[in-house]
Amino acid sequence: MEDTKHVMLVGEGARQFAVSQRFEETDLLTDESRKAWKKWKKEQNEMTPHDTHDTISVLAQDSNGNLAGACTTSGWAYKMHGRVGDSPIIGAGLYVDNEIGCAAATGLGEEVIKTTGSFLVVELMRQGYDPTAACEKALNRVIKRHNGNPDFQIAYIAIRKDGKIGSACIKWSFEYALARDGVNKLHKIKGIV
Ligand code: ASP
């Protein structure tokens, strides 16, 4: 976004641009991943992002109150070729509005995209919802669409402009790390359903 006029480049164009920016081309496939993929090919078990969960969403606020966020993932293992997840989509996997707050997601990207999840969390904070209530309300939309009991996970984390943090997940449990005032702590929350 700083080096071109665009918001997103994909596929071959993205590769060419990365090379022009002196990123090194390298094969990231490890022997371990190749073995796991071969095993999966034989068994062809359906997998959700929860089974192969790896998204890292980071939200930050500096001492001047400015907000920032990042989201990185390898997405959904053994997905269909060409599948795009929520993590790179602005408003889905991540959304930052420096006036109101920021939010980020992990979990089943398709459902996060369909509800413009992180944008929704920030918009709910704009309407006055507490960060955790905003995360829960955004998840409740998904839960409702899946008859009250989805068989997949989505979790949101959020920071409001005043520094209040929030989080929620659909089911099971979810852990997030909070670093504040020199203390790093892991927090575990329980699912809504
Ligand atoms: N959200 C990611 C995706 O759907 C998966 C994950 O959270 O691990 O691509």
Ligand 1 atom at minimum distance from 93 CA: 1
pLDDT tens, position by position, 74-83: 888 888 888 9
What is the count of structural domains for the chain?
Answer: 1
Say which range, 10-19, 36-45, 111-120, 171-180, has the weakest mean pLDDT: 36-45
Tokens encoding 44: 């062809």
- Whole domain around residue 101: which residue ranges? 55-190
Decide if 26 is inside a domain: no
Place of tokens 């078990």: 45
Alpha carbon distance 193, 183 (integer Å): 31
Residue 18 domain flag: no
Residue range 117-136, pLDDT digits in tens: 999 999 999 999 999 999 99
Atom of ligand 1 nearest to the CA of 110: 4
From ligand 1's centre to the CA of 13, what distance in Å? 23
Domain-located, residue 61 = yes
**Cα–Cα distance between 133 and 128 in angstroms, integer?**
10
Catalytic residue selected from 26, 52, 55, 73: 55
The reply to whether 4 belongs to the active site is no
Q: Whole-prediction pTM value? A: 0.93
